[in-house]
Amino acid sequence: MKKKFSPSSDASISIFERLESEVRGYIRSFPVLFDRGVGTTLIAADGREYLDFFAGAGALNYGHNNPAFKKPVLDYIERDGIVHGLDLATSAKKAFIEAFERYILKPRGLNYKLQFTGPTGTNAVEAALKLARIVTGRSNIVAFANSFHGVSAGALSATGNKKYRSAAGYPLAHVTSLPYDGYLGPSVDTLDYFEKLLNDPSSGLDKPAAVILEAVQGEGGIYPASFQWLQRLRDLTKRHEILMIIDDIQAGVGRTGRFFSFEAAEIVPDIVTLSKSLSAIGTPMSLVLLKPELDVWSPGAHSGTFRGNNLAFIAARAALETYWADSKFEEEIGRKSAILAEELNLIIDDFPNLGLSVRGRGLMYGLVFQKHHSLPVQISREALRRGLVIETCG
């Protein structure tokens, strides 16, 4: 009989093993009872401090309990501000929309309408896929190898990872998976294949409603698409009247250097999904940006009880005003990105026999192990023992 994995013998977390579902995941990698978070530090119930490189799987780009957001949230609660608002008009939501237009949309010349979906990133993806199908009248979606878009039914259909897909319990359909940039090696432009399929009426590819992709794949293994590849894909989708959806749930909000991961490629997607660090302080919030001509929803056609998290609106507005009112934050990301890349390459130099390489953009980087596939997990566990929380992917 296979021995059940136990995350820890520590009595302080044994109740999770005894009563919480086997579906729990991150607690197995980090079997610690965490109690507080301040900036880049997680503090366990026993007082031990951990440097947090995990950052809530990309939901805490600004750190834990950033005082720039915490005080406005506490003040809002203290004055009995509306917390749950569905899609009602609230002062918190109004202030966020105004700030998003002022600090994000207008400076970038972007013309999007805002759709507030249920609070998870996967719900934003579901909305984007539904909308693309409604607008075009087509059912097929093109996604890419190593992609991750969520684990609800529609989003899971566009996700590549076998572990997640096998948990669906039924066949996943209406999505065609194609090779991402670099999937067939650096000398192959994978869009040659996509273009051939689109141009050949006998290819068997049903014309897609949309392509959905991450400009920098996260869960799949930190794969940044080249700017040239993204530009060519944008051109292909325009010529064939296919919508482009950029899933910026993990790679957005500054993670790759700019607010949006696609900015540096100088492309404008038709639809963008945002979540994770958008709320700034870790409260649930998701958003779909859509070109105005695509807003064909009938009222309530994509709904959700918690699509109006006003505490998230308060923190998100404060983040925009604090970090995105000028270029200083982006410049600091660029400076730290150079430091990170240099330090990771020094690790490669220190261990030449491991065949390591580096992939990433901005502050979204990975140290790649082409050999020794079990080593990253061992490193993560040893790092935790030494007081560093860092995760694996790919």
Query: For residue 45, what is the domain's CATH number?
Result: 3.90.1150.10
CATH code: domain of residue 301: 3.40.640.10
| 36-75 burial: b if 16+ Cβ within 10 Å, else e | ebeeeebbbeeeeebebebbeebbbbbbbebebbeebbee
Which pLDDT score is estimated for 7? 38
Cα distance between the two ends of the chain: 29
131 and 271 share one domain:
yes
Which pLDDT score is estimated for 3? 36
Last residue of a domain, one of 65, 84, 113: 65
47 and 175 share one domain:
no
122 and 252 share one domain:
yes
Question: Tens of pLDDT along 43-69?
Answer: 999 999 999 999 999 999 999 999 999
Q: How many structural domains does the chain have?
A: 2
Burial class (CB in 10 A: 0-12, 13-18, 19+), 4: exposed
Low-confidence ranges of the chain (pLDDT < 70): 1-10
Distance CA 249, CA 278 (A): 8
Q: Which domain holds residue 312?
A: 69-324
Which pLDDT score is estimated for 393? 92
Which pLDDT score is estimated for 6? 35
The reply to whether 373 falls in a domain is no
46 and 187 share one domain:
no
Distance CA 272, CA 289 (A): 5
40 and 78 share one domain:
no
For the chain, the C-alpha Rg in angstroms (whole number) is 21
Q: pTM of the full predicted structure?
A: 0.95
79 and 47 share one domain:
no
Beta strand pairing status for 388-389 and 210-213?
unpaired
Task: Write the DSSP assignment of 289-337 as a string of letters.
Answer: EE-GGG--PPTTSS--TTS-BHHHHHHHHHHHHHHSSSSHHHHHHHHHH
Residue 28 makes CB contacts below 8 A (sequence gap 6+) with: 5, 7
Last residue of a domain, one of 65, 89, 110: 65
Residue 219 contacts residue 393 (beta carbons within 8 Å): yes
